[in-house]
């Protein structure tokens, strides 16, 4: 059983991943099924099956969607993005690296596609700097700012 601010998830003999954000929880089910109860409406429940994904808040469920390869790529030690905003890419990258990664709102909407090995997050930042019109500034090894050129 997994508890988040937005709800309770009960594994039904399964393999799944959970990502909690400030206002929602993301559930991706790889095998079998997971039952989800909302924190503020525990009488409401939803079953999410293998190959499905669900985003939910404390009070409502989003639509159940097919699970995409991007959301589970980290389980294969890679990060995969397809036309994602840079701000979202950096938020994802932050989970796999120590310290602070700051993305200036002026460049957060730039789009990025690619598949990157997760072992070397510095290499991912270098590719971003070579691909997009951004400057990567290392304040310290653990504090990096991404801003417009």
- Residue ranges, comma separated, of all CATH 2.60.120.1440 domains in the chain are 2-67
- Average pLDDT per consecutive 10 residues, the chain (149 residues; last block may be shorter): 80 79 88 89 88 92 85 74 93 90 97 90 93 95 94
CATH topology of domain 2-67: Jelly Rolls (2.60.120)
Rg of the chain over CA atoms, in angstroms? 17
Which bin fits 13, alpha (ψ -120 to 50), beta or left (φ > 0)? Answer: left
Whole-number Å distance between alpha carbons of 94 and 14: 27
- Residue ranges, comma separated, of all CATH 3.55.50.30 domains in the chain are 71-148
- State the pLDDT at residue 2: 80
- State the pLDDT at residue 72: 64
Q: What is the average pLDDT score of the chain?
A: 88
Q: Which CATH class is domain 71-148?
A: alpha beta
Q: Are 15 and 32 in contact (CB under 8 A)?
A: yes
- State the pLDDT at residue 124: 92
- State the pLDDT at residue 67: 84
């Amino acid at each position: 059983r997994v508890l988040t601010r937005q709800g309770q998830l009960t594994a039904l003999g399964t393999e799944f991943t959970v990502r909690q954000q400030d206002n929602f929880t993301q559930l991706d089910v790889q095998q079998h099924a997971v039952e989800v109860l909302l924190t503020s409406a525990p009488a409401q429940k939803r079953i999410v099956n293998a190959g499905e994904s669900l985003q939910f808040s404390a009070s409502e469920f989003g639509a159940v969607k097919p699970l995409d390869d991007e959301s589970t790529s980290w389980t294969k030690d890679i990060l995969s993005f397809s036309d994602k905003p840079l701000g979202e890419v950096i938020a994802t990258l932050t989970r796999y690296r120590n310290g602070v990664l700051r993305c200036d709102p002026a460049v957060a909407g730039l789009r990025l596609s690619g598949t990157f090995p997760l072992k070397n997050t510095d290499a991912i930042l270098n590719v971003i700097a070579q691909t997009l019109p951004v400057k990567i500034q290392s304040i310290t090894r653990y504090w990096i700012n991404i801003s417009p050129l």
